[in-house]
Amino acid sequence: MSNMRTIEKIIPPPAIHWVGNGFRVHNFFPSGTDLSMYRMSPFFLMDYNSKHYFEPSETPRGVGVHPHRGIETVTFAYHGKVAHHDSAGNAGIIGEGDVQWMTAGGGVLHKEYHEKEFNRAGGFFQMVQLWVNLPAKDKMTPAKYQGIENKDMGKYFMPNNLGVIDVCAGTYKDIKGPASTFTPIELYNCKLKKSAETNFSFNRNYNTAFLVIDGKIKINDISIADTNHFILFNNDGEDINIEALDDSLILVLSGEPIRETVVPYGPFVMNTREEIIQCYNDYNEGKFGYLEN
């Protein structure tokens, strides 16, 4: 009996929309396609800023101060630099290959924007932001921040110098990633040279998908996915094989679903309507702290 995980669908990039004035994104879920807000749990949202050239500017680009509760925001940088500040006193700048992992938990204000010198110089910009849901028992955990530089990733080097797997969270072939998570999550950047092949194995109950950041790949010797396409897998097997048809970069995400009712509204992802109302009451009363715009 085959243990190969089959493809549910390969999704082209949805229509672009802007988040603030600095993020030109395709929302693959939960609103940009027909995927429900539960289909990729524990991942609730994926905004993908496909590779785009920003002209030099003296005007700051990004997203101003806004609140979050009940989630973590995880930002992967592929081109350009992103700066982060939050009301818990955390700040950081990430560049190519780095990750910002912010746990909003019980509540935080933050802002994200193009790093100052990158903004002035202009250049290509390419990012992914995920919202990772928190289970009900952890919704009100204290806010924290993990700035993960590429050099600190777990690294699996493929034989014959054919590629490297950067492990941000979880474990790939005994190589562990540095990110701490509240539920089991696997997040890797898979860099493959043309003709390289590799394989993955995930619990069949984990929701699993790939995003082709660059290049073109063949999956399970059958299906082909091009740059900026999202590959959603069925929950019917464990093993996935990929071959790089060009030099390629793939974001791999897999995680144990959180089987709880979700009630999202704006920047908040909670479990009940009453909790959402409390979010807005707390925000209006200044309980998320203070952060200058």
Whole-number average pLDDT of the chain: 97
Residue 24 maps to which CATH number? 2.60.120.10
Predicted confidence (pLDDT) at residue 184 exceeds the cutoff of 70 = yes
The answer to the question of residue 267 being in a domain is: no
Range of the domain at 39: 7-255
Any domain includes 229:
yes
Tell whether 290 is covered by a domain.
no
Q: What is the DSSP string of 177-245?
A: PS---SS-EEEEEEEE-TT-EEEEE--TTSEEEEEEEESEEEETTTEEEETT-EEEEPSS-SEEEEEES
Distance CA 291, CA 159 (A): 48
Tokens describing residue 277: 């109302």
Asked whether residue 242 is assigned to any structural domain, the reply reads yes
What span, in angstroms and rounded, lies between the C-alpha atoms of 55 and 79? 14
The reply to whether 288 falls in a domain is no
Structure tokens at 24: 């030109």
pTM for this predicted structure: 0.96
Residue 156 pLDDT grade (very low, low, confident, very high; cuts 50, 70, 90) = very high
Mean pLDDT value across residues 85-91: 94
Spatial separation of the C-alpha atoms in residues 217 and 237, rounded to whole Å: 20
Number of domains in the chain: 1
Task: Please check the confidence at residue 1 and state whether its pLDDT lies above 60.
Answer: no
Is 213 among the domain residues? yes
Q: What is the pLDDT of residue 175?
A: 98
- Residue 97, in any domain of the structure: yes
Would residue 262 count as lying in a domain? no
Based on the number of CB atoms within 10 Å of its own CB, is 175 exposed (0-12), middle (13-18) or buried (19 or more)? middle
Q: Would you state the pLDDT for residue 138? A: 98
Q: What is the pLDDT of residues 3-47, one digit of tens each?
A: 999 999 999 999 999 999 999 999 999 999 999 999 999 999 999
